[in-house]
């Protein structure tokens, strides 16, 4: 009986396998979108900026940027 040696997958192969699995889960609806709220105004947002650990909507980000309070 011959023992077949399985080679270890490379990081690139592992990433490709993981991405394929995640894409299949997303198609099945297994992943739900997280609702994020702006930490300043409280609006539910899809796109946001993470500033010092806070999620800001684009409007609040622009407002803080105009006040020069951002790094």
Collapsed DSSP state (helix, strand, coil) of residue 27: helix
**Higher confidence at residue 70 or residue 21?**
21
**What is each CA distance from 50 to 6, 30, 70, in whole angstroms?**
43, 26, 11
State how far the Cα of 52 lies from the Cα of 36, in Å rounded to an integer: 16
**What is each CA distance from 20 to 15, 23, 33, 47, in whole angstroms?**
9, 5, 18, 25
pLDDT number for residue 38: 86
pTM above 0.75, yes or no: no
The C-alpha R_g of the chain, in whole angstroms, comes to: 21
Please say if the pLDDT value at position 34 is more than 70.
no
């Amino acid at each position: 009986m011959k023992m077949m040696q399985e080679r270890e997958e490379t990081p690139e192969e592992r990433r490709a396998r993981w991405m394929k699995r995640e894409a299949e889960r997303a198609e099945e609806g297994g992943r739900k979108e997280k609702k994020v709220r702006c930490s300043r105004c409280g609006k539910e947002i899809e796109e946001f900026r993470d500033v010092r650990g806070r999620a800001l909507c684009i409007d609040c980000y622009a407002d803080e940027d105009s006040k020069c309070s951002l790094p």
